[in-house]
Structure 1
Amino acid sequence: MNPMTVVLPFALPPTELAGDLIRVLETPAFATLLSRHKRLQTRIVDSESRALPHEIWLAQQTSQPGAGIALAARAMQAYALGAAAQQGYWFMVQPCHLQLARTHLLLADQRHLNLSEAESRALYDSARPSFEQHGGSLLYATPQLWFWRADGWASLDTATPDAAVTQNVADWMPEGEHARSCRRLQNEIQMAWHEHPVNQAREARGAALINACWIWGGAEAAHAARAPLAIAGGPDWMQALADSAWRQPDVQQLLAAPRPLLLPGLIGPAQAGEWSLWLERMHAIEQEWLAPLLLALRSGQLNQLTLLLNDRERTLQVDCTRMGLHAFWRKCNLDNLITQG
């Protein structure tokens, strides 16, 4: 018998909407786990953190203590770039779209860019000379994920893309000793891509322009570590943190060999405020994961199930045991999604 941890980013709905959302959620297994727990702990997130709570958790699983959100070198191993990552300091680079709001720039969610292989390769070739001039090699992994070696830039303090989405971009730009040089590099990329044929074609068909790149996740090669994670979907960089056999697991695979599981499907809808899609995905998580895991806990196949829930501002840890499920005097509901924090 083994314990299991399930991480559910953005399973905590916004306080102002939580009451309405839980009234239409039909998730009895989730309600049971939230109500008949052994222990429940809530924590307010540091408002100045440049990563979201689940991203900090991921970094803790895959990096050495104290390394920060050092994910690049570990992610490189998934794309046959492990040899390059054996030395130097590497960042993740993601082509992105900045859109103008009334008074500031916003970073668009990269999940919706639909950037093709051909488009990304063309933009990569255009950007590579600038990256190499400011640092070292720029390596291509996928259309939405490149890696850049910049050995002298280890002190650059960056933010994750999902932390910056829907926020004023100016508040999330890189900081530190090399922030000005980084901004110069980003300006060069913007100029190179401004009238690039890729963007001319995208504009003609009404697609978002690829007008910037997001640099983040810097890691020393020595900080990369392999961790027994399972990740069901998510962007390329996130899936890269799990071994290939564990990037789209099913519940039986997890029960046969329990390991921490990240379910990132709620992030995009919550960030975009698409609450009907959020409800749809919560119902799918209930059926595909929470109901079978509750059954495994009841039968003794698992001896403990821990849920880690978060939004941008709060985290909620719920520890559930087989014995705790016998607390029949606790009414099963989703109220802890509201009352905690």
Structure 2
Amino acid sequence: MKHLDILIPFGLLPLEIANNFIDKYQISSLSSLSILLTKSLIKTQLINPFSRALAHENWVAQTLGLISCNNFFNSKIFSQLNFSYYNNLSIAHMAMYMLGIPILKGYWFLINPVHIHVGSNCLILTDTRKLYLTHQSSFILFKIAESIFSKNGYSIIYGDANNWFIRADNWKKLITATPNAASEQNIKNWIPKGKGHKDWLKLQNEIQMNWFNHKVNIERENIGLKKINSLWLWGGSDFKKSFNIIKNFSNIPIYDSCFNLSGWMKLFNKYLCNNKNNILEKIIQKPGSRALIILDELIEPSILNEWSYWIKCIKKLEKNLFTKLLQKLNNGSLKSLKLILTKRNKITQFNCNRNILRKFWIKPNLKNLL
């Protein structure tokens, strides 16, 4: 593999943290990263901070052709993207397709079984990566939910343990958020809004009551897992629009290999991932032209505002990744590298190759972490 794209969600720091970080660390402990951040061609895209999908989710969706953006990375700095453009990441039909479900007519939503816990003064959506829900447990809960939805006139389909689908043609105007965008935050700001939201909340509440003391959840608690006590609705998509996206999906020039897809992106494993081994040396030695690696170590400390842990993680990446990448660019075993770093309101691409690294007059720094 001669060309690598490495997507690092929350690799950029918020302004109030970045200034202290840059002053304290400079380049002494992150020398390889500082070189890659400064000796690169840099392109930036601004995302509305209240977008209902995280910046890296938007980037993946754009790259895979699930959504389009006419000015996507074609100039150095982009104007603020329209907020309404990112109100919904409309991938329900594509998710169905990835799971082998026929492309069904109507307006369909993704439903994720989730855990919502009580914070100091609000309800908080737990990171879905921590749920470890099995097919057996999920299907039992699904059958309970199915009877409630059917009783109220809604069709529901089981995709896999983490992804179910509901047809709700009368909810087309619902504004929803991805579970990643709402993760570890007050759900009041992220629950579905608009025409149909009261109907959804009523159904959700009935399902919550039926699940609360179910044996599936009692067994989960007994082995130290969190209860599945709610559902998260998002990703609504229309059949006609989705049909064209799915029809053109195979024509999109995507990667020879992808590594570490998580969340809804895991649905693309069958089409994009052909190797679960993410050791850098083996990825570079693997046949093919271009690969994508997603590194999600910085998501949790960023969402939880645990910046000392973020620093620990970025230092680990420096040792295990950035230093090796720089070496492989210098010795020619890697032809080009694209680092894609994000935060809630920004995506920055750093495009680097051996020739750019020869710009000895550029002094490395960490300012581009802003």
Give the TM interval when normalised to the shorter protein: 0.7 to 0.9
Rounded Cα–Cα distance in structure 2 between residues aligned with 1:296 and 1:205: 45
Aligned counterpart, 2:154: 135
Partner of 2:12: 12
Closer/same/farther in 2, CA of residues 326 and 170 from structure 1, 3 Å limit: same
Q: Deviations over 1:29-55 (max 9, x none)?
A: 322110212x33445431331111111
**SS of alignment partner, residue 92 of structure 1:** strand
Q: Is the 8 A contact 2:111 2:166 kept in 1?
A: yes
Aligned-pair CA distance for 1:87: 4.5
CA distance in 2, matches of 1:305, 1:204: 46
2:265 maps to which residue? 238
What is the match of residue 31 of structure 1?
34
2:226 counterpart (205, 208, 226) = 208
AA aligned to 2:350 is: V
Taking the TM superposition and a 5 Å limit, the aligned residue runs for 1:263-278 are: 263-275=295-307, 278=310
Give the corresponding residue for 2:76.
none
Q: Map 1:97-246; keep pairs closer than 5 Å.
A: 97-132=115-150, 133-142=152-161, 144-203=162-221, 207-219=225-237, 220=239, 221-222=242-243, 223-224=245-246, 225-226=249-250, 228-229=254-255, 230-242=257-269, 243-245=272-274
Sort the Cα spacing of 1:103 and 1:192 in 2 relative to 1 into closer, same or farther, 3 A: same
| Structure 2 counterpart of 1:13, one-letter code | L
How well do the aligned residues superpose, as a CA RMSD in angstroms?
Answer: 3.2
Match 1:73 to one of 93, 103, 126: 93
Aligned to 1:257: 289
Query: Secondary structure of the residue that 1:240 maps to in structure 2?
Result: helix
Cα distance between partner residues in 2 of 1:83 and 1:161: 22
Shift of 1:336: 2.2
Return the offset for 1:302.
5.1
* Alpha-carbon distance between aligned partners in 2 of 1:131 and 1:287, rounded to the nearest angstrom: 51
Identify which of 38, 57, 60 aligns with 2:59. Answer: 57
Aligned partner of residue 308 in structure 1, secondary structure: strand
SS of alignment partner, residue 317 of structure 1: strand
SS of residue paired to 1:329: coil
* Gaps in structure 2 of 5+ consecutive residues: 70-84
Instruction: Tell me by how many angstroms 1:150 deviates.
Output: 3.6
Task: Report the residue type matching 2:90 in the other structure.
Answer: A
TM-score normalized with structure 1 length: 0.83
Greater CA drift, 211-220 or 295-304: 295-304
How far apart in 2 are the matches of 1:104 and 1:135? 30
The letter of the residue matching 2:9 is P
Partner of 1:321: 353
Q: Which amino acid aligns with 1:189?
A: I
Cα distance in 1, alignment partners of residues 195 and 231 from structure 2: 20
> Given the superposition, is the C-alpha separation of residues 74 and 284 from structure 1 closer, same or farther in structure 2, using an over 3 Å criterion?
farther
Q: 1:298 is aligned with what amino acid?
A: N
Cα pair distance change 1:160/1:331, threshold 3 Å: same
Measured in 1, the distance between the counterparts of 2:236 and 2:284 equals 30
Q: Which piece of structure 1 moves more, 247-256 or 117-126? A: 247-256
After superposition, give the CA deviation of every residue in 1:169-220 in whole Å (9 maximum; x if it has no partner): 1111112322222222212221221222222334456643221111112234
| SS in structure 2 at match of 1:245 | coil
Residues 2 and 302 in structure 1, CA contact (< 8 A), matched pair in contact too: yes
Question: How far apart are the structure 1 equivalents of 2:113 and 2:2?
Answer: 41
After TM superposition, give the deviation of residue 7 of structure 1 in Å.
Answer: 1.6
1:258 deviates by 0.4
Structure 1 residues not aligned, in runs of 5+: none
Deviations 1:137-171 (A, max 9, x none): 321312x3333344453432210111112322111
Q: Is the 8 A contact 1:76 1:240 kept in 2?
A: no
> Do 2:259 and 2:292's aligned partners in 1 also have CA atoms closer than 8 Å?
no
**Separation in 1 of the partners of 2:195 and 2:39?**
50
Q: 1:246 to 1:149 in 2, by over 3 A?
A: farther
Deviations 1:251-301 (A, max 9, x none): 444573204443233223322345565445434544554444434433455
